[in-house]
Amino acid sequence: MTKWAIDVKNLTKHFGDRVVVNNISLQVPKGKIYGFLGPNGSGKTTTIRMLCGLLTPDHGEGTCLGYDICTQTDLIRKKVGYMTQKFSFWEDLTIRENLEFVTNIYEMDHVKQRVDEALEKLHLTHRANQLAGTLSGGWKQRLALAACILHQPEILLLDEPTAGVDPKARREFWDEINQLSNQGLTVLVSTHYMDEAERCHEIIYIAYGNIMARGTVAQVIAETKLKTFEISGADVPLLRQKFEHNSDIATMALFGENLHICGTNPTKLQKLIEAQKTLAQFQSKEIETSLEDAFIYYLNKAKEN
């Protein structure tokens, strides 16, 4: 047995003339939570769909749970729990009916018992006969997750599972993901939230169909070689205008009263700041580079290519 739950090489997918996924190779170790990040339209969903056999790659090859993603999709489907970006269970079925349906599709026995257990775990027993469409966003996500793990999959593919869900529901959702991971389940999860990325064992960042970075959060940040300075004081708006379009600054963003500027060359950055010291009122200090800065840096780099 290999240690990879997902092991794919050079996946490429076109839609018409547009290259959506370009030559992506991906190795996801078993039992880990793997974060899949990138801007909208970067090919995350397409990649996930290729992994669970919903799309056939134009080029490339690989395995998911040891099964070929091009020829053994039937076997993959049995062992994958795939949660779509949009709630894709049946809104005109009740919660119980949805769960029963899934249980039957995976040909499980003791349907009623399993569904009852799942409902209890969800704390939805008293609302079992409510139409799924009447649930709030957070509950819909929990129902979807419960339905995805009913058949005890070996890997979860979650496509932006927490989009539009409030922080409390998001935290509960992630607590459950962590729990599942502890039980040995592999999780590949795409997200736009930085805090969620930081909860992953490893992350991969793709932009315009290309992989820009991978590794632990610390590694991904370190790899950019970005240094960040925080500038505060009365003249922040003035400095912001002055620093615009400066080629030494990779990213710049306002956080309340404070301005964060990042660059790959710390000496040049420092010189830039020193030069302004006599002209404006402000203080500056070096701070840790955030994951968000790293991602924007990667995105701009991808744009240049």
Task: Take residue 275 and report the two structure tokens written for it.
Answer: 């030069």
Q: Applying CB under 8 A, which of residues 8, 55, 197, 203 lies at the interface with other proteins?
A: 55
Q: For the packed helices 111-122 and 95-105, what is the interaxial angle rounded to 10 degrees?
A: 130
Binding mask 137-156 for other proteins (x = CB under 8 A): --------------------
Side-chain-side CA neighbours of residue 176 (13 Å): 20
Task: Take residue 10 and report the two structure tokens written for it.
Answer: 């050079």
What is the separation of C-alpha 90 from the centre of its chain, rounded to a whole number of angstroms? 25
**Residue 106 contacts other proteins per CB under 8 A:** yes
Least gap, CB of 109 to other proteins (angstroms)? 9
Task: Take residue 186 and report the two structure tokens written for it.
Answer: 């592999």
Least gap, CB of 86 to other proteins (angstroms)? 5
Least gap, CB of 189 to other proteins (angstroms)? 16
Task: Take residue 44 and report the two structure tokens written for it.
Answer: 């995350």
Q: Applying CB under 8 A, which of residues 56, 216, 281, 283 lies at the interface with other proteins?
A: 56
Asked if residues 156 and 31 have their Cβ atoms less than 8 Å apart, the reply is no
Identity of the residue, 103 or 224, whose beta carbon is nearer to other proteins in the bound complex? 103
Q: For other proteins, which stretch binds (CB under 8 A), given 96-104, 208-216, 236-244, 294-302? A: 96-104
**Residue 49 contacts other proteins per CB under 8 A:** yes
Report the distance separating Cα 7 and Cα 90, nearest Å: 32
Residue 204, H or E segment: strand 202-207
Q: Tell me which DSSP letter residue 110 carries.
A: S
Task: Take residue 290 and report the two structure tokens written for it.
Answer: 């955030």
**Residue 14 contacts other proteins per CB under 8 A:** no
Identity of the residue, 24 or 51, whose beta carbon is nearer to other proteins in the bound complex? 51
Task: Take residue 239 and report the two structure tokens written for it.
Answer: 């400095």
Q: Applying CB under 8 A, which of residues 8, 52, 197, 259 lies at the interface with other proteins?
A: 52
**Residue 158 contacts other proteins per CB under 8 A:** no
Side-chain-side CA neighbours of residue 9 (13 Å): 2
**Residue 71 contacts other proteins per CB under 8 A:** no
Least gap, CB of 74 to other proteins (angstroms)? 6
Give the footprint of other proteins on this chain (CB under 8 A).
Answer: 49, 52-56, 73-74, 77-78, 80, 82, 84, 86-93, 97, 100-102, 104-107, 131
